[in-house]
Structure 1
């Protein structure tokens, strides 16, 4: 009986560590939209399998950088502040991994924090 309980605990622990390891839940296009007094704003992020990403504001490119994931933590860098410095964000996935929220852990890049902290992006579905 003790062996069965111990084995069950091991299986549960191993399953919990695999949540973000495979596949990469950020791959693809993500979008955030808001309407301001001056008009609508749409931010689209494209995360690639090679660890690079692009950011678009109202369909115009504004940033290209690199990222990496470690479980539920996103490490991201870009030349807007310093491409050698990585900001660190807690990543929370919702639903069927079709929404993601980023919460700053540590980032001295004011522009990136303002654009990402506590922001929920929705996955853009591929059109068939």
Structure 2
């Protein structure tokens, strides 16, 4: 009887641990940042896919493509603009109900990537519901 009881408790704890650690990647989706640079308005759209690839579009034109992976709240990303084999490391800070985020550089020698991501607020792009 005691074995069944311990097995039941172990199963419940294991199920709870797995359900909390196997959540989907909250970065997957479309994220947009807009602002003004040198007097001109811009919109930057980043698309992060579940397969570990991402694309970035500046004013609807393809700007950058690369790969990424997440480890808890840390993003590792690389793209060929600096060196496809070098990964920049960023802390990802989510806000609200995972509807906005900021990237905070931890380590990245790619100046352009740091200047385009560090500290900027990105909002999740919601798909319109078709009726």
Q: TM-score, normalised by structure 1?
A: 0.83
Larger Rg: 2
Deviation at 1:35, TM superposition (A): 2.3
Q: Distance in 1 between matches of 2:114 and 2:64?
A: 14
Structure 1 residues 63-110: Cα deviation after superposition (integer angstroms, max 9, x where no partner): 000000000000000000000000000001000000011000000000
Aligned to 1:23: 24
RMSD across aligned positions (CA): 1.9
Aligned to 1:44: 45
Aligned to 2:10: none
Deviation at 1:51, TM superposition (A): 0.2
Deviation at 1:28, TM superposition (A): 0.8
2:127 is aligned with 1:118: no
Aligned to 2:33: 32
Map 1:74-85 onto structure 2 (within 5 A).
74-85=75-86
Deviation at 1:23, TM superposition (A): 1.1
Structure 1 segments (4+ residues) deviating >4 Å: none
Aligned to 1:72: 73
Q: Distance in 1 between matches of 2:53 and 2:106?
A: 21
Flag structure 2 segments of 5+ consecutive residues without an equivalent. Answer: 1-12
Flag structure 1 segments of 5+ consecutive residues without an equivalent. Answer: 1-10
Aligned to 1:94: 95
Helix, strand or coil: the match of 1:63? strand
